[in-house]
Structure 1
């Protein structure tokens, strides 16, 4: 029987063209969508930070497909809520995040240490 390994991962997602769109109700709606996706997928998410043009998300997961899931589902749902706003910025396709992402394992560092790091970088 294989033992499941829960990993605490720090994701950093940059918005396409590093546009500083993460403010007001748009930011609130995107956070809510990400929390919902995490809940539906069984991921534990710790408080998130943003710096206008990128997101810091600390997630405890048992699989590394979380980046694809979070980006794909949140982009689809945020376009349903804010299509007109986003089409002013991304007219060719329904895009939000850049193609890549950064993720690192937090190893044996405590959740408190990871949260402090995320808040300081926010």
Structure 2
């Protein structure tokens, strides 16, 4: 979720965030199965190695996308936030799909936005 629930994930920012997350996934060996943005948050279904920890994946995604967005949209973001290098809120929600099929989760994510 975006810090202070600001509705910034639209247009080119949303497209750039998604592309950056795909780039991160390729770099670290994760597979993005589905991803969609809302105006103030993002959903993605991710396949990753069991030795990786979700908290580390989230940390990488938040850090790298924040740095990228401030580099590209610094003038816009400086009007939204009083402190530099802020974009995402501190928390996140993650769950494993367990008994629900990945197709069901993928359909849910793709219906967002």
For the criterion TM > 0.5, the same-fold answer is yes
Q: Distance in 2 between matches of 1:44 and 1:97?
A: 22
Q: Secondary structure at the match of 2:9?
A: coil
Deviations 1:12-37 (A, max 9, x none): xx000101111111111111111101
Residue 84 of structure 1 and its aligned partner are, at CA, apart by 0.7
Q: How does 1:12-91 map to 2 (within 5 A)?
A: 14-62=1-49, 63-64=52-53, 65-91=56-82
Contact 2:34 2:46 in 1 (8 A): no
Q: Which runs of 5+ in 2 are unaligned?
A: none
2: CA distance, partners of 1:100 / 1:92? 18
Shift of residue 48 of structure 1?
A: 0.9
SS state of the match for residue 16, structure 2?
Answer: helix
**Per-residue deviation at 1:107?**
1.5
* RMSD between superposed Cα atoms in Å: 1.4
2-side partners of 1:118 and 1:24: how far apart? 18
Superposed structure 1 runs of 4+ greater than 6 Å apart:
none
Shift of 1:92: 1.5
**TM-score, normalising length: structure 1:** 0.82
Q: Which has the higher helix share?
A: 2
Structure 1: give runs of 5+ residues left out of the alignment: 1-13
The alignment covers a number of residue pairs equal to 109
